[in-house]
């Protein structure tokens, strides 16, 4: 007979934090956000080098909280920069581990999710999974063209939280996610604005590799001619430029912190530069939402603001002021990622869904 109660450890490494949870079936019995300040994580050359540090923090936290990990039935991690794949729950396998370690589509904190989940689970002889990784790709063909034939736009975004929150809001609206047209704005260490049309994310900015608004850590879109000049100035190696765009831009670049709460404090203390940067970030988010509304020809059922920055009342107000003419703005601060990871793992443990085998699921066709 199938086990009726499963205990899962879920692990969500973000750019500025590691979030963990213990779930008994759908019920969260423990959740913790372990924050990492930029000085702490910038001591590592590459994100993958943070593996030991983040794994130890997780195990120490569970130990301090009195959880016996031998009672776990599965470990589920957030999936990272793999090959483009359809959404769903995937078993962690050798090919996936290799792609996560090598950063097949680049470096990202979520690459650590599957690796740490596998490492902890294999010691306990239990399964490990990832769910809706950041490379979930449902872009419509017209959204794939960049304007430069050699460069195709990619779908890299906060898929797990965007989909989970979109489903939650749909339920609140007494509608099916598959019937709605939503703009979901995830605002964390990175910021992505997804156009959700009838359950598919048909367009989204690649917040990681230089599209959309700047964020606490990311550059977003930058003037490309100036970027080319910077790349060939002789002052930087390629990986230094990448780090500058991905981890040392936005708030970190202008103000030396990835923490919006600190920025708000600076503003209260009269720091005018902090005020301008904060205002500019809200302005750029609003502009991206405006662009997303054009993708939906202005027929938008709701705009959703989510992620850690959505706790910032003034930040939310600044965006809302500029976009409320498009549709109602619904604010879901934080994220639903831990719950969504647990639910994805449970569906497989309960045999409601087969775990997908990476990378054998249909991979998106090249358009041109
Ligand atoms: N109460 C709050 N008020 C304002 N900003 C907040 C608050 N709590 C967290 N934040 C900000 O949210 C940002 C982090 O958001 P979040 O935790 O969603 O990011 P992450 O999970 O590390 O990265 P990502 O979401 O990009 O994967 C930080 O800048 C943090 O300071
Ligand atoms: C999840 C990809 C986007 C980002 O981290 O900025």
Ligand 1 atom 17, closest CA: 308
Q: What CA–CA distances, in Å, run from 290 to 58, 143, 361?
A: 39, 16, 33
Separation CA 245–CA 326 (nearest Å): 31
235, pLDDT greater than 80: yes
Contacts of 340 (CB under 8 A, 6+ apart): 131, 132, 160, 161, 163, 164
Q: Where in the chain are all domains bearing CATH 3.30.420.40? A: 7-137+337-357, 161-333
Terminal CA-CA length for the chain: 50
| CB of residue 250 inside a 6 A radius of ligand 1 | no
Beta strand residue intervals within 95-249, DSSP E: 128-131, 181-187, 191-197, 200-204
Ligand 1 atom 21, closest CA: 14
Mutation probe of ligand 2 site: the residue of 208, 210, 245 with most atoms within 8 A of C-beta: 208
> The tokens of 114 are what?
């599957």
Separation CA 215–CA 323 (nearest Å): 18
User: What is the ipTM score, two decimals?
Assistant: 0.98
pLDDT tier, 14 (very low <50, low <70, confident <90, very high otherwise): confident
What pLDDT does residue 36 have?
A: 87
With a threshold of 0.95, does the pTM exceed it? Answer: no
Separation CA 99–CA 128 (nearest Å): 16
| CB of residue 216 inside a 6 A radius of ligand 1 | yes
User: What integer best gives the mean pLDDT of the chain?
Assistant: 94
Q: Nearest ligand, CA of residue 105? A: 2
Instruction: Give ligand 2 pocket residues (Cβ under 6 A).
Output: 15, 108, 134, 156-158, 190, 192, 207-208, 218
- If you average pLDDT over residues 40-67, what whole number do you get? 92
Q: What is the pLDDT of residues 200-226, one digit of tens each?
A: 999 999 999 999 999 999 999 999 999
At the top level of CATH, the class of 7-137+337-357 is alpha beta
- If you average pLDDT over residues 8-26, what whole number do you get? 94
Alpha helix stretches (DSSP H) within 50-110: 51-64, 94-102
Q: Give me ligand 1 centre to Cα 311, in Å.
A: 8
| CB of residue 50 inside a 6 A radius of ligand 1 | no
Residue 90's φ and ψ, nearest 5 degrees, are -120, 140
Report the DSSP beta bridge partners of residue 176: none
Q: Give me ligand 1 centre to Cα 48, in Å.
A: 21
Ligand 1 atom 22, closest CA: 16
What pLDDT does residue 336 have?
A: 85
Q: Which helix (H) or strand (E) holds 171?
A: helix 159-172
365, pLDDT greater than 70: no
Of the chain, the percentage scoring pLDDT greater than 70 comes to: 97
Separation CA 47–CA 368 (nearest Å): 33
pLDDT tier, 368 (very low <50, low <70, confident <90, very high otherwise): low
Q: 128 by DSSP, 3-state: which?
A: strand
Separation CA 354–CA 358 (nearest Å): 12
What pLDDT does residue 312 have?
A: 98
Nearest to 280 by CA among 354, 213, 351: 213
Q: What is the fold of 161-333? A: Nucleotidyltransferase; domain 5 (3.30.420)
Work out which ligand 2 atom sits closest to the CA atom of 109. Answer: 5
Nearest to 130 by CA among 269, 8, 296: 8
Nearest to 77 by CA among 156, 157, 20: 20
Q: Give me ligand 2 centre to Cα 117, in Å.
A: 20
- Angle at CA of residue 81, ends 247 and 263, nearest 5°: 25
Q: Give me ligand 2 centre to Cα 203, in Å.
A: 15
Separation CA 160–CA 12 (nearest Å): 10
361, pLDDT greater than 60: no
């Amino acid at each position: 007979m199938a086990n009726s109660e499963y205990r899962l450890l879920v692990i969500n490494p973000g750019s500025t934090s590691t979030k963990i949870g213990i779930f008994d079936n759908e019920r969260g019995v423990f959740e913790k956000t372990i924050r990492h300040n930029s000085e702490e994580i910038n001591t590592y050359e590459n994100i993958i080098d943070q593996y030991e540090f983040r794994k130890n923090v997780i195990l120490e936290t569970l130990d301090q909280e009195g959880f016996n990990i031998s009672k776990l039935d599965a470990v589920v991690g957030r999936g990272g920069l793999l090959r483009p794949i359809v959404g769903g729950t995937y078993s962690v396998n050798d090919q996936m581990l290799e792609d996560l370690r090598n950063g097949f589509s680049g470096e990202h904190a979520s690459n650590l999710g599957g690796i740490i989940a596998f490492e902890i689970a294999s010691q306990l002889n239990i399964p490990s999974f990832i769910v809706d990784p950041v490379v979930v790709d449902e872009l419509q063909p017209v959204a794939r063209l960049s304007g430069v034939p050699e460069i195709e736009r990619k779908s890299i975004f906060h898929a797990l939280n965007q989909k989970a929150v979109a489903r939650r809001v749909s339920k609140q609206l007494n509608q099916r996610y598959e019937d709605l047209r939503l703009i979901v704005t995830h605002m964390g260490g990175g910021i992505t604005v997804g156009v959700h049309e009838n359950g598919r994310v048909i367009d989204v900015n690649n917040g990681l590799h230089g599209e959309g608004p700047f964020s606490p850590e990311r550059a977003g879109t930058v003037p490309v001619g100036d970027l080319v000049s910077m790349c060939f100035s002789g002052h930087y190696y390629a990986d230094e430029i990448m780090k500058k765009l991905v981890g040392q831009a936005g708030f970190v670049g202008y103000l030396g912190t990835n923490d919006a709460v600190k920025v708000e404090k600076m503003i209260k203390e009269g720091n005018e530069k902090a005020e301008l940067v904060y205002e500019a970030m809200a302005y750029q988010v609003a502009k991206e939402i405006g662009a997303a509304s054009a993708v939906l020809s202005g027929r938008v059922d709701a705009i959703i603001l989510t992620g850690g920055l959505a706790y910032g009342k003034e930040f939310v107000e600044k965006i809302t002021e500029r976009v409320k003419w498009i549709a109602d703005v619904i604010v879901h601060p934080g994220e639903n990622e831990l719950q969504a990871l647990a639910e994805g793992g449970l569906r497989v443990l309960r045999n409601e869904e087969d775990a997908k085998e990476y990378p054998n699921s249909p991979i998106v066709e090249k358009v041109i």
